[in-house]
Structure 1
Amino acid sequence: MTRARRLHPAWTVAAVAFVALVGAAGFRATPSVLLHPLHAEFRWPLATISAAVSVNLLLYGLTAPFAAALMDRFGIRRVVAGALALVALGSGLTVFMTASWQLVLCWGVLVGLGTGSMALAFVATVTGRWFVHRRGLVTGVLTAGGAAGQLVFLPLLAVLVRDHGWRAAALVVAGAALAVVPLVARWLREHPADLGLPAYGATAVTPRPPSAGGAAARAVAAFTAAARTRPFWLLAGGFAICGATTNGLVGTHFVPAAHDHGMPQTTAAGLLALVGLFDIVGVVASGWLTDRMDSRLLLAGYYGLRGLSLLLLPALFTGGTGPSMLVFVVFYGLDWVATVPPTVALCREYFGDSAAVVFGWVFAAHQFGAAFAATAAGLVRDRLGDYAPAWYAAGALSVGAALLSLLLRRRRAVPVPVLTPARPAGAWSYRG
């Protein structure tokens, strides 16, 4: 590489991807600050407003594998720019809504499709194309972009809602998403071969693979092929438990559970924000470790330690905001999405060129687990008057996820692309 180009373009692509993820993450912080203002203005039941969030959560997961296939078909730049436009449209149109179905359409469908198109499958696509060395680290940094976005937007949105009303907050989210589109259009390159360069850390230029037609068919075909393998179900099962024990349970029910034990909601929300802060540190560190250690052992360790922390949480609630609870916040925050870099790495190991699409399906399992846990924990609280059984069940499930990770074997066959009319581009075979 010449002196004039000491910085590999891969780092520019990664930086733009990070900014795009931060811009799209604004909506992830929106429901928590807009739920009560919408209820107060429109008198819609909280369950109705929550339904819009549930639709968003499910589409966020289901869109990911199709978005990864669309990126292969039409390019990263077009898909990401379109996704940001959908987020802006969905958030911006809420200022005109008068009926609850419009909230479901805007929050649930439009924003769900937009954010799902920029979910973790986008991260897997960028790192898979542009990086050979430092893949784990970059995966961790980009994954942290979502958490960073929430931390950036949450305090701002809360102030806007308080001082100027919820419509101002919705418009700020829309504006932030739109502001990133020009950066994406200018700097988010598709493939290093387009510049005549190898990926970062590679020694030779890899020709850009031909565009595969039928993105939806390719996503379905990738799932059908992956579903015949043992590693896919072990990864998907573990990641479903990951979603259940993070977004679904802790992300949704930590604050009301703490309030049940006499902790003020503002204090509980502050503790949850600290979880997000340490989440950034944890996922970046996990990416660094993924470049150096066996991802199977990392996953087993993460899930096992998470299970232990959740089993102890009911007892910690009785101590309020004492040192023990703060230790949990730090420890759990470091572990929150640390599972992402090793899971992406294992998808790449087992499924080769189809890794981003297959990871999209694994991520869909994550979101289904989250949606199930969010509902199940609420039912437990309604029926039994206590969240404790939900925490214990989550702890046991996390230990189970650790065992699933240990059952993963090292790959015994290299994924082989097969370009025939009977199978889509990027198809692969796996024995094991």
Structure 2
Amino acid sequence: MIRHRLHPAWLVAGVAFVALVGAAGFRATPGVLLHPLHAEFGWPLATISAAVSVNLLLYGLTAPFAAALMDRFGIRRVVCAALVLVALGSGLTVWMRASWQLILCWGVLVGLGTGSMALAFVATVTGRWFVRRRGLVTGVLTAGGAAGQLVFLPLLAVLVRDHGWRVAALVVAGAALAVVPLVGWLLREYPADLGLPAYGATEVVRPPVTGGAAARAVGALAAAARTRQFWLLAGGFAICGATTNGLVGTHFVPAAHDHGMAETTAAGLLALVGIFDIAGSVASGWLTDRVDARLLLGAYYALRGASLLVLPSLFAGTARPSMLVFIVFYGLDWVATVPPTVALCREWFGESGAVVFGWVFAAHQFGAALAATAAGLVRDRLGDYAPAWYVAGALSIGAAGLSLLLRRRAVQPVVVLPVAVPRRAWSYRG
């Protein structure tokens, strides 16, 4: 009898966490590069924000196809290729001279790379490797993006200030490449490959034989789109993206700078968001294992909306205590929505839950892309970000209403796609 003191699922989760941190660096850069790029090239903030919007949109649209590709070709290959794309897109920016090159590098290459390691990657890892503690691990892996922001953002702000934005871009490229060997060496595909059940399961289940990745991704969307629950989840998550990555993540630093705050100080505040984001997402994962996910989402969105409505009055030349309170609160709430949303996708769509969540996440990034461009236009036209904050606050309160309209699944998941023919499963007895 062989006993494993530490289930390999925890090692896989650890490697996935490091990969998410490595990919998160470039997603933290737009906020500290908007003004340097504007100063050097003279591009309007709306033009630079459009490149960020392409990044955010592809980041979301890639997710469901990446989840299906992971089923078809394996997590390891997809994640390694994604990290190389992030490094390539980040590194090539140092030679750009025109705004279309910014869109190609920042938008297309980095968007495709980071999208392949988006939250659908988290759903895939937790769905394969965990039965028990699934919500908690989802929260921890979701915190990987926050950890990347925490690690990179203050460093990038200092590098931009002291050495220029090109050095910052090369640091991000190097960090992404450094993770590739670790992923290639340690990231496993299925527990069955080691002759083990998933963590918390009692049987070893062989991986399914899957069909075409694109067909599976589109088929999951077609089936899920026939349900009311999908549109409620997608609508709420679109607002989630608009109020986090799209607005605060992209425009908080330049908005604070408009009120006289140093960009390094504002970047430090966003790094604090990252610290409390880790705590918030882990706590949300723990709560998702115990509390109705619908109630959690409703509370998260309502509280976020209230905080955004008061944010315009908090900006000043220095980080006052009231702003620090906002940073702590918003950090706790930032990605707390992810574990309950993943759980609801799994509840309603069964084995297709990870792919369907990829489409829900695509809606998240569509909202983020729209908000990133819209806020840039508001700032260019009105000279002030305040209307953007007020609209975002009202939308968040609306998302709380959408979440509370969700109902519990009856007996069987709505979507079970006939895309996989599982092989025989056998019991594992230690």
TM over 0.5: yes
Q: Residues 157-180 of structure 1, C-alpha deviation per residue, up to 9 Å, x if partnerless?
A: 334344444333322222221121
Cα offset, 1:46, TM superposition: 4.3
Q: Which residue of 2 aligns with 1:424?
A: 419
Q: Which residue of 1 aligns with 2:20?
A: 21
Query: 1:122-271, aligned counterparts within 5 Å?
Result: 122-210=121-209, 212-271=210-269
AA at the equivalent of 1:157: L
Q: Residues 381-413 of structure 1, C-alpha deviation per residue, up to 9 Å, x if partnerless?
A: 455554443333222221211111111111113
Deviating more after overlay: 264-273 vs 125-134: 264-273
Could you list the structure 1 runs, at least 4 aligned residues long, displaced by more than 6 angstroms after superposition.
none
Query: 1:229-378, aligned counterparts within 5 Å?
Result: 229-317=227-315, 321-378=319-376
Q: Which residue of 1 aligns with 2:103?
A: 104
Q: Secondary structure at the match of 2:214?
A: helix
> Structure 1 175/236 Cα, relative in aligned 2: closer, same or farther at 3 Å?
same
AA at the equivalent of 1:286: S
> Structure 1 277/68 Cα, relative in aligned 2: closer, same or farther at 3 Å?
same
TM-score by length of 1: 0.90
Q: Secondary structure at the match of 1:249?
A: helix
Cα offset, 1:214, TM superposition: 1.6
Deviating more after overlay: 408-417 vs 79-88: 408-417
Q: Secondary structure at the match of 1:338?
A: coil
Q: Residues 202-247 of structure 1, C-alpha deviation per residue, up to 9 Å, x if partnerless?
A: 111122111x222111111111100000110110011011111112
- C-alpha contact 2:52 2:369 (8 A) present in aligned 1: no
> Structure 1 47/257 Cα, relative in aligned 2: closer, same or farther at 3 Å?
closer
> Structure 1 426/223 Cα, relative in aligned 2: closer, same or farther at 3 Å?
farther
Q: Secondary structure at the match of 2:419?
A: strand
Q: Which residue of 2 aligns with 1:91?
A: 90
Deviating more after overlay: 23-32 vs 264-273: 264-273
> Structure 1 86/384 Cα, relative in aligned 2: closer, same or farther at 3 Å?
closer
Q: Which residue of 1 aligns with 2:49?
A: 50
Cα offset, 1:292, TM superposition: 1.3
- C-alpha contact 1:316 1:324 (8 A) present in aligned 2: yes
Q: Secondary structure at the match of 2:204?
A: coil
> Structure 1 251/426 Cα, relative in aligned 2: closer, same or farther at 3 Å?
farther
- C-alpha contact 1:287 1:342 (8 A) present in aligned 2: yes
- C-alpha contact 1:16 1:188 (8 A) present in aligned 2: yes
- C-alpha contact 2:305 2:397 (8 A) present in aligned 1: yes
> Structure 1 174/382 Cα, relative in aligned 2: closer, same or farther at 3 Å?
closer
Q: Does 1:80 align with 2:79?
A: yes
Q: Residues 334-368 of structure 1, C-alpha deviation per residue, up to 9 Å, x if partnerless?
A: 10110001100111111111111100110111111
Write the distance in 2 (CA, Å) between the matches of 1:48 and 1:398: 26
- C-alpha contact 2:345 2:357 (8 A) present in aligned 1: yes
- C-alpha contact 1:354 1:426 (8 A) present in aligned 2: no
Cα offset, 1:15, TM superposition: 0.5
TM-score by length of 2: 0.91
> Structure 1 414/342 Cα, relative in aligned 2: closer, same or farther at 3 Å?
same
Write the distance in 2 (CA, Å) between the matches of 1:399 and 1:57: 23
> Structure 1 186/418 Cα, relative in aligned 2: closer, same or farther at 3 Å?
same
- C-alpha contact 1:417 1:426 (8 A) present in aligned 2: no
Q: Secondary structure at the match of 1:253?
A: helix
Q: Which residue of 1 aligns with 2:404?
A: 406
> Structure 1 67/133 Cα, relative in aligned 2: closer, same or farther at 3 Å?
same
- C-alpha contact 2:352 2:416 (8 A) present in aligned 1: no
Q: Secondary structure at the match of 2:12?
A: helix
Write the distance in 2 (CA, Å) between the matches of 1:310 and 1:43: 30
Cα offset, 1:31, TM superposition: 2.8
> Structure 1 42/184 Cα, relative in aligned 2: closer, same or farther at 3 Å?
same
AA at the equivalent of 1:377: A
Q: Secondary structure at the match of 2:28?
A: helix
- C-alpha contact 1:13 1:187 (8 A) present in aligned 2: yes
- C-alpha contact 1:140 1:285 (8 A) present in aligned 2: yes
AA at the equivalent of 1:119: A
Q: Secondary structure at the match of 1:207?
A: coil
- C-alpha contact 2:53 2:372 (8 A) present in aligned 1: no
- C-alpha contact 2:240 2:364 (8 A) present in aligned 1: yes
Gaps of 5+ in 1: 428-432
Q: Secondary structure at the match of 2:413?
A: coil
Gaps of 5+ in 2: 423-430
Write the distance in 2 (CA, Å) between the matches of 1:30 and 1:152: 12
Q: Residues 17-58 of structure 1, C-alpha deviation per residue, up to 9 Å, x if partnerless?
A: 011111111211233344444445555554443332221111
- C-alpha contact 2:259 2:315 (8 A) present in aligned 1: yes
> Structure 1 323/174 Cα, relative in aligned 2: closer, same or farther at 3 Å?
closer
- C-alpha contact 1:418 1:426 (8 A) present in aligned 2: no
Q: Which residue of 2 aligns with 1:430?
A: none
Cα offset, 1:264, TM superposition: 4.5
AA at the equivalent of 1:61: G
> Structure 1 171/317 Cα, relative in aligned 2: closer, same or farther at 3 Å?
closer
AA at the equivalent of 2:23: A
Question: Cα RMSD between the aligned structures?
Answer: 2.4
> Structure 1 416/42 Cα, relative in aligned 2: closer, same or farther at 3 Å?
closer
Q: Which residue of 1 aligns with 2:393?
A: 395
Cα offset, 1:417, TM superposition: 7.5
Cα offset, 1:415, TM superposition: 2.5
Q: Which residue of 1 aligns with 2:425?
A: none
> Structure 1 126/277 Cα, relative in aligned 2: closer, same or farther at 3 Å?
same
